[in-house]
């Protein structure tokens, strides 16, 4: 790939070049006063652009990425942005804001699609369709670095040695399957350290959830057989395993070994139980992801079902952010590219509706997976029934989402009326502090909007220990100063949607005054500010709301829905603050005196603790004793001694 950068404007993938506004003409006048913007900036790129596949970025005057797009022919795609009659108003606005562009040429259009998805996820451009919730999925790992393999839940990079099975839609689905594996195959779940230190069987062995390999209750060969059966089960061979277990149970019964027969019976029941709970079990599907999109009133829900080894591993709903003019098929195409950016796609992906670039998606995903990946829309049979089920789930999830959104909107309207705001707030920021007598103090900011909490916008603020310990007002001033000083620096024009309409602080009149002082010093005068204080005896339902202006506190009726809404906001901020404080305090409690000693890493720390027993004993040790520590040279022993006692 080759990379180019120049001054101009770029932004659209084939699906977005539908917005219209004569921005090229409007920007021509502005360019006389400064660098070219809009269509004029885009035109400056065209002569140098190759007619090759690639990815382009449209960048505004502040350096922010407005849009990331792919193209089979970069020159033709970029040229489409200087034709105002073919642009929608939204894309016209984007073109008008463009000050420069960056380009990366690729060998194929499929490679461009993969790069585009990666850049969209990392940059989050305003004018792209964005997959906001992209948490990793858990899987099951059967370890391969120990004679007695361990079965455990795994999330994240697959760097550990062993075999992975999944993905599962939730941790609950993994835990349920692990429970079956324990009951049916008696595999260990303990860590290697626990395994090596056992001298007698643990409780799991007593309740027949483990075969006891740690205390030699099973041979390596027999345990390996259990591992092979577990892997066969995870790969879809449960019926064959049940047949073999049934035959063994009958043999044990015929031989009058009833206890052994009962053990086989329990293992068969464990396998049967998970099969009975499968709401959909299509052996013809094998390994596949079923992805269905449903759209209403400008919002889209995408349901993803995971099928592995003919069994349903669960499902998850997504609500990508996009403009209202984007259709369901267009949203689904963008979603698939970003969804598999960090995941290995299965061999079959069933989709509905069919994305306009389904063939290109299949080609790009095949490149990512290193094998053939098929993207298709079922037309008949069991797969069509499965898709209908996924579409029903998408429709129901979106209906719930719209109901919750309408309720949230009514609450915001009630809040605006109660506080005398000009309009319903689109972004509310709530601030709280947490500490114990000033120690390990943490400031917290939570954010809420029409769709509810915006958790990826939550922030925490650490304080220095000697910075006004225990002074809540000083801490509130510091948090707000840091937050809005940065906002003024990074987004002075407030074009990125990161400025709040309402700031709510947890506290009384003093906290409100501290907040108003900060805004006055920074010259911020157009943000509504309020404080919510607990009522007499700190009883919920008797809160007092303080507003600027010096009037008495606002007291709402105990059952007022707006008061409930304010309580939930305050409680969420308190939860986030106290959680951050506890994490900071817990980290400090586990910190050793040796952690700050220069040159003492994990190995030397382990050697010192092994020899002296505790960090306190290391501190009290003499120089000669430190020099006798394995792995600690005389020079290092002198450094450790001087660190604790000072050097003469």
Answer whether residue 5 shows pLDDT above 60.
no
Tens digits of residue pLDDT in 47-89 = 888 889 999 999 988 888 999 999 999 989 998 888 877 788 8
The two three-digit tokens of residue 381, written as one number? 């049979």
Nearest of 287, 293, 431, 279 to residue 353 by alpha carbon: 293
pLDDT exceeding 70 applies to what percent of the chain? Answer: 85
Cα–Cα distance, 393 to 334 (Å, whole number): 20
- The confidence score (pLDDT) of residue 463 equals 78
- Is it true that domain 593-645 has CATH number 1.10.1740.10? no
- Is it true that domain 288-398 has CATH number 3.40.640.10? no
For the chain, the domains span 2-123, 139-236, 288-398, 428-587, 593-645
The two three-digit tokens of residue 127, written as one number? 């004018």
CATH class of the 2-123 domain in this structure: alpha beta
CATH code for the domain defined by 428-587: 3.30.420.340
Q: Do domains 288-398 and 428-587 have the same CATH topology?
A: yes
- Average pLDDT of the chain, as a whole number: 82
Cα–Cα distance, 379 to 25 (Å, whole number): 48
Please state the φ and ψ torsions of residue 24, each to the nearest 5 degrees: -65, -40
pLDDT exceeding 90 applies to what percent of the chain? Answer: 21
- The confidence score (pLDDT) of residue 36 equals 64
- β-bridge mates for residue 429, sequence order: 447, 503
Confidence of residue 7 (pLDDT cuts 50, 70, 90): very low
- The confidence score (pLDDT) of residue 237 equals 65
Three-class secondary structure of residue 33 per DSSP: coil
């Amino acid at each position: 790939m080759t990379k180019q950068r120049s001054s101009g404007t770029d932004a659209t993938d084939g699906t977005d070049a539908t917005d219209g506004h004569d921005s090229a003409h409007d920007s021509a006048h502005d360019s006389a006063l400064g660098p070219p913007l809009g269509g004029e900036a885009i035109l400056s790129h065209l002569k140098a652009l190759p007619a090759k596949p690639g990815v382009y970025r449209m960048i505004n005057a502040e350096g922010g990425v407005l849009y990331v797009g792919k193209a089979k022919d970069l020159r033709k795609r970029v040229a489409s942005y200087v034709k105002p009659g073919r642009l929608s108003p939204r894309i016209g606005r984007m073109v008008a804001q463009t000050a420069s562009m960056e380009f990366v040429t690729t060998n194929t259009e499929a490679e461009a699609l993969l790069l585009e998805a990666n850049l969209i996820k990392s940059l989050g451009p305003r004018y792209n369709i964005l997959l906001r919730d992209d948490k990793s999925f858990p899987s099951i790992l059967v370890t391969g670095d120990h004679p007695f393999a361990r079965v455990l839940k795994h999330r994240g990079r697959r760097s550990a040695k062993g075999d992975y099975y999944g993905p599962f839609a939730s941790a609950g689905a993994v835990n349920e399957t692990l429970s079956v594996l324990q009951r049916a195959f008696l595999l260990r779940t303990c860590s290697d350290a626990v395994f090596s230190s056992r001298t007698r069987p643990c409780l799991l062995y007593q309740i027949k959830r483990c075969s006891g390999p740690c205390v030699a209750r099973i041979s390596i060969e027999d345990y390996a057989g259990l591992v092979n059966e577990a892997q066969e089960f995870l790969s879809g061979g449960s019926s064959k395993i049940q047949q073999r277990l049934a035959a063994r149970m009958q043999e044990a019964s015929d031989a009058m070994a009833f206890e052994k027969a009962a053990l086989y019976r329990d293992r068969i029941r464990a396998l049967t139980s998970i099969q009975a709970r499968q709401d959909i079990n299509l052996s013809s599907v094998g390994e596949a992801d079923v992805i269905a999109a449903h759209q209403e009133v400008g919002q889209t829900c995408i349901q993803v079902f995971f099928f592995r080894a003919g069994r349903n591993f669960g499902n998850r709903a997504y609500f990508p952010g996009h403009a209202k003019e984007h259709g369901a098929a267009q949203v689904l195409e963008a979603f698939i590219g970003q969804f598999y950016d960090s995941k290995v796609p299965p061999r079959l992906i069933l989709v509905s509706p069919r994305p306009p670039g389904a063939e290109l998606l299949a080609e790009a995903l095949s490149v990512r997976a290193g094998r053939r990946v098929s993207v298709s829309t079922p037309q008949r049979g069991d797969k069509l029934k499965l898709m209908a089920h996924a579409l029903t789930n998408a429709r129901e999830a979106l209906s719930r989402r719209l109901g919750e959104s309408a309720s949230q909107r009514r609450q915001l309207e009630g809040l605006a009326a109660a506080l005398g705001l000009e309009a319903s707030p689109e972004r509310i920021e709530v601030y709280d502090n947490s500490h114990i007598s000033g120690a390990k103090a943490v400031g917290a900011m939570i954010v809420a909007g029409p769709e509810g909490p915006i958790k990826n916008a939550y922030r925490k603020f650490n304080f220095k220990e000697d910075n006004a310990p225990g002074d809540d007002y000083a801490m509130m001033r510091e948090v707000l100063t840091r937050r809005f000083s940065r906002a003024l620096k990074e987004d002075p024009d407030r074009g990125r949607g990161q400025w709040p309409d309402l700031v709510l602080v947890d506290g009384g009149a003093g906290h409100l005054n501290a907040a108003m002082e900060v805004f006055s010093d920074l010259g911020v005068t157009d943000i509504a500010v309020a404080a919510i204080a607990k009522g007499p005896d700190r009883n919920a339902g008797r809160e007092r709301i303080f507003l600027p202006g010096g009037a008495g506190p606002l007291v709402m009726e105990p059952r007022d829905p707006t008061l409930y809404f304010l309580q939930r906001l305050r409680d969420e901020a308190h939860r986030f603050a106290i959680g951050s404080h506890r994490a900071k305090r817990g980290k400090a409690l586990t910190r050793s005196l040796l952690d700050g000693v220069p040159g003492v890493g994990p190995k030397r720390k382990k050697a010192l603790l092994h020899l002296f027993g505790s960090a306190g004993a290391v501190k009290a040790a003499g120089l000669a004793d430190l020099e006798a520590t394995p792995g600690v040279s005389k020079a290092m022993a002198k450094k450790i001694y001087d660190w604790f006692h000072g050097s003469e």
